[in-house]
Amino acid sequence: MLCHLCAATPALYLLCITMAQVAGQEEREKTPALKDLLSGIDLDELMKKDEPPFIFPKTLEEFEYAFNEYGQLRHIRTGEPFVFNAREDLHRWNQKRYEALGEIITQYVYELLEKECNMTKAILPVDAEDEPTSFIYLSPDAMSNPSKLLVLVQGSGVVRAGQWARRLIINQDLNSGTQIPFINRAMEEGYGVLVLNPNENYLEVEKPAKSSPLYSHTEPLDEPAEKKERKDDKDGKKKREFYEKYRNPQKEAETDRIPIRENGSSEEHVLYVWDHFVSKAKASNVFVVAHSYGGLSFVELMNHREMQVKSKVCAVALTDSSHNIWLQETSKGTQDWMMEHCCNWVSSPEPLDTPLDSMLPDCPRVSAELFWQYR
């Protein structure tokens, strides 16, 4: 049929061939043009994500979470536990969201201490006027109970008064992560209770906006170029990583920390509370529960107030304590007293209360099974 068409209409046949040749030429001309266009596009830049602003809810309700009857944090619509990776590949944003929730949890625990445990705040320093302050919590009879006083000291980090571990509160339940079960049990058995707050050490304030000077007043003008280059490279490494990952990395506010007088560290705080509260309490028998860095702070207290502690404290329960009697240069008297009056429960696969070996001649170490390893 094609032969008949070509024979009948040679002009039409030639026209089709010519059009096909022209079309092919146009396609060949487009190919390099398209390549030139694509070569000007930064594919890595296209793959970058926009980092969302660090703006998060201010209440549990706004987060759409609530604690159920078992003290577990659950989503109010789905009933699911808290999800850390709310947005994939945005770890810094997810971490900031987690920290924002943690601050709400801290306030929630304060409310539980005040409303459910009937505890009150005592401001530190006790003579504070116009300055940064901290606080501790006391049961109604903490200072007046003539018999027994329980003192609770948590470890280091973000945890505040009434908490053992924020992560446990969020991922497990309030009974696992807060000190409230200890407080309730102590009150039922006739103890006064004092809850310390050793990580509330400073007031954080945002730095005022500043202009861009020709040189930094904090650096010498004659600083060697090589030294400055190394310093800038070190300081800027983390920021560059964000810039490489995000198209618009969020800039975090720069802050200054104003220390709280005589409470600028966990060790200072424990010493201050001893001097102004525990030593003045009427209880003839003081008992201490200290976790992790709280154990180190207690040992440091003994270094400064050894005779007072020995005369007032009956027993100390340490949990995964991070103290070291050699590095902290404790006296022989302190070491002997700790052998008789302290016990350190540590994470271990052994059955509960199984004696464990210790390289240091201080308080006995026994197994807490695996209970405390999650704190």
pTM score? 0.78
User: Within a 10 A sphere around the Cβ of 159, how many other Cβ atoms?
Assistant: 28
Helix axes 293-312, 266-276, angle to 10 degrees: 20
Residue 82 amino acid letter: F
Phi/psi region, residue 118 (left: phi>0; alpha: psi -120 to 50; beta: rest), is left
One DSSP character per residue, 166-229 reads HHHHHHT-HHHHBSHHHHHHHHHTT-EEEE--TT--EEEEEPPP----SS-TTS-TT--HHHHH
Q: Are 63 and 104 in contact (CB under 8 A)?
A: yes
Q: Would you please indicate which residues are annotated as catalytic (active-site) residues?
A: 292
Q: What are φ and ψ of residue 251, in 5° steps? A: -85, 125
Tokens 């390549």 identify what position?
A: 35
Question: Could you read off the pLDDT tens digit of each residue along the chain, which spans 375 residues?
Answer: 444 444 444 544 444 444 455 455 555 555 665 555 556 555 444 445 677 888 899 999 999 999 999 999 999 999 999 999 988 888 889 999 999 999 999 999 999 999 999 999 999 999 999 999 999 999 999 999 999 999 999 999 999 999 999 999 999 999 999 999 999 999 999 999 999 999 999 999 988 876 544 444 444 445 555 555 565 565 555 555 544 566 667 777 788 999 999 999 999 999 999 999 999 999 999 999 999 999 999 999 999 999 999 999 999 999 999 999 999 999 999 999 999 999 999 998 899 999 999 887 889 999 997 544 444
Go through the domains of the chain in sequence order and give each one's CATH number: 50-116 (no CATH), 120-203+260-367 (3.40.50)
